[in-house]
Structure 1
Amino acid sequence: MNQYKIMLVDDEPDILDLLEKALNIEGFFNITKIDNGISAVTTCREMRPDVMVLDVMLPDIDGYEVCKQIREFSHCPVLFLSSKNDELDKILGLAVGGDDYVTKPFSPKEIAYRVKAQLRRIEYRQAPIQDLSVKIGELMIDTDGCRVLKNGKEIGLTAREFEILRYLAENLGRVISRERLYETIWGEDSFGCDNTMMVHIRHLREKLEENPAAPKYIITMKGLGYKLVNPYEN
């Protein structure tokens, strides 16, 4: 795993050092440490990290704004660190494009393992499969390039959004429960996953659907879960 590039963004040097040591123990050495938001955006554009660990409270622009800006050019997984443990703060972190959210105080070892989990998902998305692209109505899901196009125009999805869509596409027409979807994509127990899943599904619909309030691709089956359908097939 040593080839992966990891960016750590926090204005507390002690936290940066602790995270770096924990990641070193797990075999990660290509690590860049940044102490402010503006430099984080610039450096991310230049180095294209595979994973970013991002503190919410930064001295210039906050982590939410950093994530919003990097989502304009990067789909790298973003793991938020925050002293805010309110549910609305967590939802905001996911809404702006974050992939994980951990509240302080935290175990550096836990963060290292969460980084490893994000990288496993990258490897999963990059694993060779028989069909490299799937066409569903106006959508083309390029599983090799981790891209989604609608009528030939690329749609910017976060890493997590792409994984959700890909998994639904692999089970086209089948109802997938929220619990199964969460446990497959997040790799964690699904307890309390409803809000997290609803946020990601809502953002997927906003990006894919002509009318997110009346979706024709990602359908909610009340009490059961979600399914992806081709609206142009009976």
Structure 2
Amino acid sequence: MRTVLIVDDEPQLLRALQVNMEAEGYRVLTALDGMAALGHAEGSHPDIIVLDLGLPDMNGVDVITTIRRTSSTPIIVLSARHGSVDKVRALDAGADDYVTKPFGLDELLARLRAAGRRGGTPETAADEAPVDVGDFEVDLANRKVARGGAAVRLTPREWAILELLVRNPGRLITQQQMLARIWGPGYGNETHYLRVYMGQLRRKLEADPARPRHLLTEAGMGYRFEP
């Protein structure tokens, strides 16, 4: 059973979300402010976090930043703030998705399922050996990457892209497949996202980012991981 942490300062909304998510089979933790959220994130290790930005004790972006220092748990921002600046700040801080209020419950549940797929489960990764290609090593079980023996810090989306490719060695992952899997429905045309993130991954992992050996582009189609 997946555990969801819901953080919102509106008790009625918090209760409604808790009831509906429990009906969908989730175990639900709740928090009314940022400090309580950080306590749950550190102590209870939820599988997914749904977070409102407008909290009474601290900015939701600061909550995201703090969580991201130690965890890659998927975070879905749930906010009444519609401005692009707030959305960009939240995503840059490490949020995986952004849903504006008012919202449809079906949409939120769909995004939860997508975030859960991106996050993976410890049970499916527990017996996997690290993938070592010489230039770098990917530990799928523990969600860690190393290059030359030194840990490499990846953003949640960088990890999601790398994990998807490494789990499918030699297979072409189309741009549309990658966008739908990592960003969710409705992002099929945002191929520039992939160019940016693949460039970042190559700079962090490839010996020669301009001539990658492992994280390859198939022009006009998608990307491929070659061990």
Normalised by the size of structure 2, how large is the TM-score?
Answer: 0.80
Counterpart for residue 18 of structure 1: 16
State yes or no: 1:48 paired with 2:45. Answer: yes
Q: Cα offset for 1:167? A: 1.9
Q: Conserved in 1, the CA contact under 8 Å of 2:152 and 2:204?
A: yes
Q: Is 1:70 the counterpart of 2:67 in the alignment?
A: yes
Alpha-carbon distance change, 85 to 164 in structure 1, aligned in 2, over 3 angstroms: same
Cα distance, 1:100 vs structure 2: 1.3
Q: Name the counterpart of 1:89.
A: 86
Question: In the alignment, does 2:26 pair up with 1:34?
Answer: no
Task: Please give the alpha-carbon distance, in whole angstroms, between the structure 1 residues aligned to 2:175 and 2:164.
Answer: 12
Q: Specify the code of the residue in structure 2 equivalent to 1:156.
A: R
CA drift at 1:116: 3.0
Task: Could you tell me which runs of 5 or more consecutive residues in structure 2 were left unpaired when the two chains were aligned.
Answer: none
Deviation at 1:81, TM superposition (A): 0.8
Q: Which amino acid aligns with 1:193?
A: E
Partner of 2:140: 143
For 2:144, the aligned partner's letter is R
Runs of 5+ in structure 1 lacking a partner? none
CA RMSD of aligned residues (A): 3.2
The CA distance in 2 between the partners of 1:215 and 1:89, in whole Å, is: 36
Q: Rate the CA distance shift 1:14–1:190 in 2: closer, same or farther, 3 A.
A: same
What SS does structure 2 have at the residue aligned with 1:120?
A: helix
Indicate the residue corresponding to 1:111 in structure 2: 108
Instruction: Count matched residues.
Output: 226
Correspondence 1:2-17 to 2 at 5 A: 4-17=2-15
Shift of residue 211 of structure 1?
8.9
Of 127, 132, 138, the match for 2:129: 132
Give 1:215 shift: 7.7
